Homo-oligomer: A and B are copies of this chain.
């Protein structure tokens, strides 16, 4: 089963990180498709920003518009059923007794990457791009570089494939992610990410800030805001 070496499937949630990854893939591969996962998360608003963000990227560049292929959303409510966490149930946000954040859905990225690999292989897309990151990794063990690299081997053996899991944000922090967006798509892309993408754990789209829209108080908002301040201080 030959994979097209200039093609990619991007795990796209509509957040800052995955939007930056999508722009990264559009700058690099000739055929780029997107995949998302609906799993009963409290911030289902992420699903609503997907299409506006994709359209916004196409509007920034005729090349990107030509390269951007179909989107698909895989229903994974079952993940919320087997994997209890603050993102899918009414648990308080904070830290669990074992030190992991309560928003952690154990194994979530393992499941996402596995389904993405199955779809990529069917679609003959060689590169699977995910916005996972060790730097701000919030204690999620399935975002670690070791996990992703071991998983690539397991997936390729299990699918008899030669997929490549690409993680362009693995070693950069949130300030550098803003800078990467600017390099890839200029201030137009930075503005698109500020205005359209969604990161807030609480799903708040009512409060506007210079770094984006969100409650401003949850861990995800604070991380995004802090990265923005450092990015702005450096530019």
Contacts and interface: CB of A to CB of B under 8 A. Distances in A.
A117 B107 contact: yes
Interface of A is mostly: helix
Contacts of A210: none
A114 B117 contact: no
Contact of A106 (B142, B153, B159): B159
B159 A110 contact: yes
Contacts of A122: 82-84, 106
A118 interface: yes
Interface stretch (A143-151, A201-209, A224-232): A143-151
A11 interface: no
A117 B106 CA distance: 10
A147 B157 CA distance: 5
A111 B109 contact: no
Contact of A150 (B84, B110, B153): B153
Given A75-B78, A114-B107, A146 B157 contact: yes
Contact of A158 (B76, B118, B151, B157): B151
A78 B146 CA distance: 28
Given A147-B154, A150-B153, A151-B154, 19 more contacts: A1-B98, A74-B82, A78-B115, A82-B118, A106-B118, A106-B159, A107-B114, A107-B121, A107-B159, A110-B155, A110-B159, A111-B111, A111-B114, A141-B159, A141-B160, A147-B157, A147-B158, A151-B158, A153-B154
10 contacts: A76-B78, A83-B118, A106-B118, A107-B117, A110-B155, A111-B118, A141-B160, A147-B158, A150-B153, A150-B154
